Amino acid sequence: MTSWQSTVKIDERADVHPSVILEGNVSIGPYCKVEAGTVITGNVTVGDHTHIACNVTIRGRNTIGSYVQIYDNACIEGGRGSGVGTAKEADRSIIGNGAWINHSATLHGCQLSEGAIIGINVALDYNCKIGKGAVVTNGSACPVDTVIPDDCVAEGVPAKITKRNITDEDRLQILGLVPSARVRYFGGRYEEAMRENKSR
């Protein structure tokens, strides 16, 4: 029986709450903020300027980009291994730069392109692919292997595409804000705060 090794690397410019559990091969990049009660376990890489809020669970194989927002109680897991169920290849959990994952969303081995938006209580089953700037609206559910193209809105259970070629004006109407601007704003704020604390 071999002992399980854990290698955790937290950039000195990151802000990780003392109650956070990090276990496995975990890397947290500069100017990230990880809030109380979050658990990150497995092979997980987090880019820079990313915000992970309270009580988030991230486990398995996950690559999370920069300027990503993941809100309270979200659950992100790496998905199935090769040959498990209908998976011919292992699922890949990749969260692209600038993605926005709202409260209590659940993602199983999914791929989010740059600026993809996942609403409150959304469920993405295994191997879903959400395109650049696409929106999956609150309470929607995507079955296994769902593909939502770039700049589309998907809603319902199961989620169906209801609008294509959306702009930031559409995102503002749907969400009440433009996530791509918000993630950049808060990423900058976290960096400012961390630089200020370090200089004291």
The pLDDT, as a whole number, for residue 4 is 61
pLDDT-derived band of residue 190, with 50, 70 and 90 as boundaries? Answer: confident
Averaged pLDDT, 172-197: 88
| Average predicted confidence (pLDDT) for the chain | 94
* Residues of the chain by 3-state class (helix, strand, coil), percent to 5: 15, 35, 50
Percentage of the chain modeled with pLDDT above 90: 82
pLDDT-derived band of residue 1, with 50, 70 and 90 as boundaries? Answer: very low
Sign of the torsion angle spanned by Cα atoms 172, 76, 183, 96 = negative
The pLDDT, as a whole number, for residue 73 is 98
Structural domains of the chain in order of their starting residue, each with its CATH number = 7-199 (2.160.10.10)
pLDDT tens, residue by residue, 155-173: 999 999 999 999 999 999 9
The CA radius of gyration of the chain, in Å to the nearest whole number, is 17
| Secondary structure (DSSP) of 39-51 | EEEEEEEE-SS-E
CA distance 132 to 84: 28
Q: How many CB atoms lie within 10 A of CB 84?
A: 12
pLDDT tens, residue by residue, 113-168: 999 999 999 999 999 999 999 999 999 999 999 999 999 999 999 999 999 999 99
The pLDDT, as a whole number, for residue 10 is 97
Tokens of 69: 């927002």
The pLDDT, as a whole number, for residue 52 is 98
Going by their DSSP bridges, the two strands 7-10 and 51-52 should be labelled as unpaired
